[in-house]
A = this chain, B = another copy of it.
Amino acid sequence: MGTSVRTGGAAMQSGNGREPCAYCHARPYSVCNAVPEEALATLSALAVVRDYAKGQVLIEQGAAAEDFLNVISGTVKLYKLLTDGRQQITGFAGTGQFLGLAVTDTYTFSVQAIEPVRACRFSRSRLRQLVVDCPQLEERLLQTACQELVTAQEQILLLGRKSAQERLATFLIGWSRQGGRRVSVADHVRLPMTRGEIADHLGLTIETVSRTFSRFRADGRIRTPSSHEVVITDRAYLERLAAGAG
């Protein structure tokens, strides 16, 4: 676990030893998609693929921001800490998510694997050179940053003005949507994170999150076959809550 794997390692999963990027499962979901075919070899040369065990830290707040990171599989949490240890999870990231845009010269957040993760590392400075040759990539990075900005502002609205029930409803609806890709099928949602991590994301405590799950269950809005699976049984109700209708 946590073994360093050179590009060849990714190739095992992707089927080609020399051009990991060309066959990368995450590419269709990622900014890498903006790199034209003929530049993929260059990209591959910059990429270092590694596996991380659950709990491993991929990026540490305050460290020099040397790399970008791209999640190939698994899920990570992005979080910030207060000096007394309070934690706020700013988001979760899965396949294709590009990390490291919101950065000064040092990282302003930490990243930790919440389940086994494979991720790809690029040197920031070397990627910059690729960007110069490849305006579509810069365009795509800007697009990605703007998308993240929209998401961050939604989270600000949630934390500033929504009740516990509205927060959890928003989270479940949002996660079930993004999950079209990998996380969930229709109304069946897989939650790789713990109740505590959901709490740290929604600005609540673990007890409040648990109680709110119980209440949704009792009211027939969801079923929970296991604590990491949720079936949405009254989506319209949760969506109304999420939108903040009274």
Residues of A within 8 A of B (CB): 80, 82-84, 86-88, 90, 101-104, 108-109, 132, 135, 138-139, 141-142, 145-146, 148-150, 152-157, 159-162, 200-203, 243-246
Contact = CB atoms under 8 A, between A and B. Distances in A.
A203 B149 CA distance: 19
A152 B159 CA distance: 12
A150 B103 CA distance: 7
A166 B153 CA distance: 20
What DSSP secondary structure best describes chain A's contact surface? helix
Contacts of A155: 156
Contacts of A82: 157, 161-162, 243-245
A19 B88 CA distance: 47
B161 A203 contact: yes
Give the number of copies in the complex: 2
A246 to B, nearest CB: 5
Nearest to A145: B145
Nearest to A141: B142
Given A104-B150, A138-B142, A160 B161 contact: no
A88 B108 CA distance: 24
A156 B157 contact: no
26 contacts: A80-B156, A82-B157, A82-B162, A82-B243, A83-B244, A83-B245, A83-B246, A84-B244, A87-B161, A88-B157, A88-B160, A101-B146, A102-B149, A103-B146, A103-B150, A108-B150, A108-B153, A109-B153, A135-B135, A145-B145, A145-B146, A145-B149, A149-B152, A155-B156, A159-B159, A160-B201
A243 B81 CA distance: 9
A201 B159 CA distance: 11
Contacts of A87: 161
Contacts of A109: 153
A164 B155 CA distance: 19
Contacts of A80: 153-154, 156-157
